[in-house]
Chain A
Amino acid sequence: QVQLQESGPGLVKASETLSLTCTVSGGSISGYYWSWVRQPPGKALEWLGHIYYTGRTNYNPSLKSRVSISEDTSKNQFSLRLNSVTAADTAVYYCARSGHIYGADALDIWGQGTMVTVS
């Protein structure tokens, strides 16, 4: 069974960079899209961007200048960097997979999420 696990600091200072890593276990990064999704407390889900296993990326245009997603296939991990954070970036951050038999966009496997607070 493929599982995803987010890791990284739970507290980030305003104006600094938020960095999270998602470790993929039980399967390979190859052949899929890997996304980051966040959810501010009490608010809706927001897609931040994804990376295809080939390295191609797409980002939410509302964050495009601040966000980057990279991968390390040797470690079966992919990472999120969000620059110049503010209190509005406080949220639960999820990593997720798509591109399986359910179609290129359907996010079929999710990590448990990690809460990041910007102080």
Chain B
Amino acid sequence: QSVLTQPPSASGTPGQRVTISCSGSSSNIGSNTVEWYLQFPGTAPKLLIYSNNQRPSGVPDRFSGSKSGTSASLAISGLQSEDEAGYYCAAWDDSLKSYVFGTGTKVSVL
């Protein structure tokens, strides 16, 4: 029932750059800012990116976000083994008057 679509999985070798896409519509990504959350198994999500491309204090600059039109992307450069986790995009939806999450992407480090 998620209105934001992400690829189920992404992978890379240590040191590589991995990109995760998030596709939405004019009522959510097209109109509002995008957040990204990181979630390790069995733990609560953690805010990774806010306002499309801003990092909260403490988040490494290996993580970067971007937005164009009704899509957004999260890039992880210099992939590390500790980056293995689930990643979710999210945005406010003006039509639903609701905060919507993406379908989630599991990142694996090969």
**Interface on A for B, CB 8 Å cutoff?**
35, 37, 44-47, 49-50, 58-62, 94, 102-108, 110-113
CB pairs A–B below 8 angstroms (28 shown)? A35-B99, A37-B101, A44-B101, A44-B102, A45-B37, A46-B1, A46-B2, A47-B98, A47-B100, A47-B101, A50-B99, A61-B97, A94-B45, A102-B54, A102-B56, A103-B33, A104-B92, A105-B33, A106-B35, A106-B47, A106-B51, A107-B35, A107-B47, A107-B90, A108-B56, A111-B44, A112-B43, A113-B44
User: B104 near A44 (CB under 8 angstroms)?
Assistant: yes
User: A59 near B98 (CB under 8 angstroms)?
Assistant: yes
Using A44-B102, A46-B2 as known contacts, list a sample of 17 further A-B pairs with CB atoms less than 8 Å apart, ordered by residue number in A. A35-B99, A44-B88, A44-B104, A45-B37, A45-B39, A45-B90, A94-B44, A102-B50, A102-B51, A102-B56, A104-B92, A105-B91, A105-B92, A105-B99, A108-B47, A111-B44, A112-B43
**Interface on B for A, CB 8 Å cutoff?**
1-2, 32-33, 35, 37, 39, 43-47, 50-51, 54, 56, 88, 90-92, 96-104
User: A110 near B44 (CB under 8 angstroms)?
Assistant: yes
A residues within 8 A CB of B45? 37, 45, 94, 107, 110
Query: In whole angstroms, how far apart are the Cα atoms of A58 and B96 in the complex?
Result: 10
Query: In whole angstroms, how far apart are the Cα atoms of A104 and B99 in the complex?
Result: 11
Query: In whole angstroms, how far apart are the Cα atoms of A100 and B3 in the complex?
Result: 25
Query: In whole angstroms, how far apart are the Cα atoms of A110 and B96 in the complex?
Result: 23
